[in-house]
Structure 1
Amino acid sequence: MKILVLSGSPHKNGTTSLLIDEFYEGATQSGHEVVRIDTAKLKINPCLGCNHCRRNEGKCVHEYDDMLEIILHLLTADAVVLVSPLYYFGLTAQLKTVIDRFYSVNSLLRESPKKLYLIAAGADTDDWAMDGVRAHYKTLCKYLGWHEGGTLLAYGLAERQDAENSEYKIMANKFGKEI
């Protein structure tokens, strides 16, 4: 299976980076092909809602930014994993910008059902803190006609050391193995 991991973290060695590494290890051990894209390192312009893509066969008005690389992997992936630290009770702006740009290829994405997974990590320990992220994930699945593959919501991870010393590290590896 080809798995596309879209990371929204701007931190190279943060909590979600560790969880991605563990997920990657588990998934590749199970024989999956995993492509990881760190969206914060790319130049991706926000969707303008201009509908240029709708009038030009999916070609976005921002044709020269880095989104094309993501779309090529997105269209050929069997599964997509969204990974984000919790920023003000939602996904990071970097990841949300990429998701908004799915708009240019909506029809292709909706014709090609995939499994969608979510890994999110936050310093908060209250279960409700992830409600917004959880709702966004479920809404994406419903809208795109994709299958809910599962979520790993990691609470109480303010720093990388918190993740290194937690059960979430093991859970991320297992999540990758069982995908």
Structure 2
Amino acid sequence: MKVLVLSSSPRRDGNSSTMAHAAADGARQAGHQVDFAYLADHVQGLFRDCRTCRDLSGACTVGDDYERLLLDRVVPADGLVIATPLYWYGMSGALKTFFDRLFCYTSGSAPDGDAVAGGLTGKRVALLIACEESYRGATLGLTAQFQELTRYLHQELVGVAVGIGNSRGEVSQDPARPLEQAAELGRRLFDVRVTDYRIDTPRSNRVWESNGARPGVSR
């Protein structure tokens, strides 16, 4: 499977990036094809008013590498691992801009919008958060936002790993072992069972089958 790891911190050697590399290593250990990208290399322009900045063909005119990242690396991926530091109890500015600018490619007036929207759906997603605070509530808002983002995009959020640290690389000293958690998410990105039951969802009375099968796993 193709896995794209997106590191959204401006620091290449920061804590969220360290977690991202651990997840990438885990995915490689599982035999997946791994691509790694720093958002800072691709996303410079903010989302604008599409009514004023589209060209005559309807294409986005923000002059950076966002489009190539989206079309050549994000859309073809089967799974995404997204790493971010916690900024003001939310995602990094670069990552927020990445999601904001999806509108340019998924709105009704966007060229090839249907193809882009179709390519975004069905992915397995893992979220990695580097946070200075051990207070559990600090990351709940960001986790909830990703639950809604993935729901909207018809993706599956398979897990969230939170690492505590401030100085570069300090996350490796977190006794909760977030680097191991990140690596495990990378290894099991396509195997983690994800369920979201409704009142009319058909299901057995067993969560785990005794023969090792995992009911409800979406592949």
Spell out, residue by residue over 1:131-173, the C-alpha distance to the aligned partner (whole angstroms, 9 max, x if none): 221122011111111112221122x312234312231111111
Identify the residue that residue 157 of structure 2 maps to in structure 1. 148
Identify the residue that residue 81 of structure 2 maps to in structure 1. 81
Distance 1:108-1:131 versus aligned 2 partners, 3 A rule: farther
Q: Please list, as runs of the form range in 1=range in 2, the aligned pairs for 1:166-177 lying within 5 A after superposition.
A: 166=174, 167-177=177-187
1:69 deviation in Å? 2.2
Q: Does 1:100 find its partner at 2:109?
A: no
Q: Please identify the structure whose Cα radius of gyration is greater.
A: 2
Identity of aligned residues (%): 26
TM-score between both structures, scaled by the size of structure 2: 0.73
SS at match of 1:73: helix
Letter matched to residue 174 of structure 1: E
Distance 1:19-1:151 versus aligned 2 partners, 3 A rule: same
Output the CA distance in 2 between the equivalents of 1:137 and 1:43. 20
Match of 1:164 among 169, 172, 177: 172
SS at match of 1:153: strand
Q: CA RMSD in A?
A: 2.0
Output the CA distance in 2 between the equivalents of 1:45 and 1:136. 22
Greater fraction of residues in helix: 1
SS at match of 1:151: strand
Higher relative contact order, chain-length normalized (CA < 8 Å, sep 6+): 1
Output the CA distance in 2 between the equivalents of 1:55 and 1:140. 30
TM-score between both structures, scaled by the size of structure 1: 0.88
Letter matched to residue 157 of structure 1: G
Letter matched to residue 168 of structure 1: P
5+ residue gaps, structure 1: none
Match of 2:124 among 108, 115, 118: 115
SS at match of 1:164: helix
Equivalent residue pairs, number = 176
